[in-house]
Structure 1
Amino acid sequence: MRLIILSSIAVAVAAWTSAAQAQTTPPAAAAASGDPALYVAKAGASDLYEIQSSQLALQKAAANEVRQFGQMMIQHHQMTTKQVIEAAHTAGMTPQPPTLEPPQQAMIQELQGLSGQAFDTAYLRQQRVAHDQALALHSDYATNGDNAALRRVAGQAVPIVQRHIDALRALPGGG
């Protein structure tokens, strides 16, 4: 009986956590909509993580599909970085080179210590989280941002990130 109650509690907590994550915008995304420089920095960090983690995927992934996904991430995120920087310049800003945030650095470090199937599993898990955060960041700025050039670029990034999420779902273990 006690095991059933504990199992029920665990299921309820997991369901609540999943629902809460699906319904909330990460605080960083909401904060970035009011600050163009913060949006540029967070978008740059997001792209840099995608590029660096995907470069590791080209070296360490077991599955060819994961390496192909990684190659697409590198190409697309180099492009979106360029677009955000150009929009920032149009807005009269001088953005700093992108740098990883501490959680992204930790994710890269995790991937560096893995290879093969263990790498694939961790990489795909991280990609789901990173793309959900990127989608929230770009969607929020596209809707609420206060700089027209950056709003336009954020709006253009949204379908790209959504395509990445859809591609992830199609990968074995990426769902």
Structure 2
Amino acid sequence: MMKLVNTIAAATLMFGTAASLAQTPPPPPPMEAKSSAVAYVAAAGAGDLFEINSSQIALQKSQNAGVRSFASMLIKHHTKTTAATMKAAKKAGMSPPPPALDPGATASINELQSASATDFDRIYLAQQIPAHQAALDLHQSYATGGDQAALRTSAKAAVPIVKQHIAAATKLQGGKMGAMSGM
């Protein structure tokens, strides 16, 4: 009986701790976005919109200069990549709707909005890394196998930007949360 009580207590402690550390990265883009122009434009736009919106929240909530600098960089860069993607889509004869968040990205945004001041930076960065890894996969895949040349060029141009973001987020997450250089 005591062993069962200890097991339950340990499980409660373990799962309780895991729940308090949870963060919800937005879901990866659909597979068809790696080769289909319509799906790519929607996924790239949604990814940029998540980065912009989550970073606007970071500017409001983070007290860390490094995180705030990172967030400002993301807003600037993702605004530019959205414009480049839309321009390339129009060059390809498309009329894409404005970017929109899917329910998973909306849940991630909601998590940031409700995060405590002490948890915010950790949750924000824990969302940024997988979101940018998914974006990197999307852009690299479309750049090599996409069905529209103008969008392949735009996707290829986004790759080094996303790699820069992953490196900066990883550095911040690794405990070097001072002001970031080169942003």
> TM-score, normalized by length of structure 1?
0.81
Residues 94 and 88 from structure 1, CA distance in 2 versus in 1: closer, same or farther, beyond 3 angstroms? same
The structural deviation recorded for 1:102 is 1.2
The answer on whether the counterparts of 2:35 and 2:141 sit within 8 Å (CA) in structure 1 is no
Q: What are the within-5 Å matches in structure 2 for residues 7-86 of structure 1? A: 28=30, 30-86=31-87
Indicate conservation of the 8 Å contact 1:88/1:150, yes or no: yes
Mapped contact 2:29–2:43 kept (Cα < 8 A): no
Can you give the 5+ residue segments of structure 1 that lack an aligned partner in the other structure? 4-25
Q: Which residue of 2 aligns with 1:159?
A: 160
Contact 1:61 1:117 in 2 (8 A): no
Sequence identity percentage: 52
2:55–2:74 Cα contact (<8 Å) kept: yes
The structural deviation recorded for 1:32 is: 1.1
Gaps of 5+ in 2: 1-6, 8-27, 177-183
Question: SS in structure 1 opposite 2:67?
Answer: helix
Question: Which residue pairs with 1:133 in the alignment?
Answer: 134
Q: CA RMSD in A?
A: 1.7
Contact 1:128 / 1:174 at 8 angstroms: preserved in 2?
no
Name the SS for the 1:111 alignment partner: helix
Which amino acid in structure 2 is aligned with residue 77 of structure 1?
H
> 1: distance between equivalents of 2:136 and 2:157?
11
Hey, what does 2:112 align to over in structure 1? 111
Runs (4+) of structure 1 exceeding 3 A deviation are 172-175
Code of the aligned partner of 1:93: M
Offset of residue 115 of structure 1: 3.8
Task: Report Cα offsets for 1:107-137 as digits up to 9, x if no partner.
Answer: 0000000242311010000001110110011
Aligned residues: 150
CA distance in 2, matches of 1:116, 1:35: 40
Aligned residue type for 1:103: G
- Whichever residue aligns with residue 88 of structure 2, its letter is A
Structure with the higher fraction of residues in helix conformation: 1
Conserved? CA contact 1:125–1:174, under 8 Å: no
Equivalence for 1:96: 97
User: Is 1:48–1:77's contact at 8 Å kept on the other side of the alignment?
Assistant: yes
Conserved? CA contact 1:80–1:157, under 8 Å: yes
2:32 alignment partner AA: A
1: CA distance, partners of 2:60 / 2:106: 18
Q: Is the 8 A contact 1:60 1:119 kept in 2?
A: yes
Q: TM-score, normalising length from structure 2?
A: 0.78
